[in-house]
Each structure stands twice: as C-alpha cells, then as structure tokens.
Structure 1
Amino acid sequence: MKRFIDFLEKNIDSTLSDGEGYWLQVYSDGKNGNITRGRNVLVRFQLREKNIYFYFAKYDRPNEFDYEGYPLPLVSNVDEIKNLKHKDSETLCEVIKRFIADNN
C-alpha cells in the first residue's frame, strides 16, 4: 500500500483515469477519495492512522458508497486487497495496480 499512498500524496486534488474506464479522484488532503466507473462507485477510500478503509458501492444503489468499511493495514501489500470479503475486491486490486503502474 506504500506505493498507492505515495501515489495519492503526489496527486492531491486530482482526477485521473486508468485508461480502462475507471476514474480516481483524490481529495485535497490526499487521504480520501473515490474510484468510479461512469456514474457508479467502485469504492470510496479513507486513510487513517494505521489502516486504509475501503467503502464499496451499495448493492442496490451503485452510485452511492456503503458505510461499512473494509480495513486494511497501511503496511499491507496491494495484493492483500483481494482478501477483502467483498465481490469487487479483485477488481479494486487490479484497478489500483493499474493506477500505480500507469502513473508512477
């Protein structure tokens, strides 16, 4: 996650595309943002003291994020995102890897 966190800090107040239809919006503090595809939310994320929390889209309203966060320690490897117990965790992992590879 270190590379992703560094990437977020370098792109504060930015909206970036991965070239595959996903958009990453990094808010002004670099610790919050979201990843969307069209009008649908893939995930909202929030960095806290020791964890990054992922809030996936609601099942019944894909343009809104759920309030149940999935924490992952900041010291984790990006591939550990796949272990989150959510149907979109593999997609999220691949999208984050593309952003890191394409923009670093």
Structure 2
Amino acid sequence: MAEVKLDQLARLWDEFGAMRFPPGFYQREPEGECMVMMDSMLAGCVSSALSGSLDDRGRGILQTRIVVLGKVLQSIGDDEYATTYFTHLHGMAVLAAELDKDRSE
C-alpha cells in the first residue's frame, strides 16, 4: 500500500512543482497565517516523506499544518487560483502523512 501512495505522492509533487505560488499571498495572512511559511513547511515535509520516514518533529509539523491549512482554506475562496494551489498542497500533505503512517506500521 505504501508503494501506491508513494507513486501517487510523487505524481502530485511533480504537478505541484509546475505551479507557481499565488502572487496575492506573499503578503496576505488569512486567519493570521503566513502562507509563505505554510507553503515552505508543508512542501518540506512532503519532500522529506518522498525520501523516507519522517522524524517526530516532521510528523508534528505535518499534522499541525494540515489542520491549520484545512481551516485557512475556508477563508481564501475569493481567489480561485490560490484555492486550487493550497488545496493541492493540503492533499499532498495528507497523503504524505498517510504514507508515513503506513511505513511505520
């Protein structure tokens, strides 16, 4: 099962690499969250998960940021591209967490 998720995550990661960060979100902080940091932290966790199991710190960051981004997504619906971008990021992060869990079982 982990191999299927790894393949899917790699495909999503490639798609994400072709996307550009939403320009309106360099300064915008919905729900008080810096979206540049959100992007950086989650992308780093996803990249690490593609390479192997996460450590406890990485797991904690991933789990916390998944929840926070899920809440933020509700408040950025006014920007269609940003919604697409951050929904893709969220989906990758959730899949990375599932993959990491599968590896530890």
Tell me the TM-score normalised to structure 1 length.
0.36
Q: Which structure: larger Rg? A: 2
Higher strand share: 1
Tell me the TM-score normalised to structure 2 length.
0.36
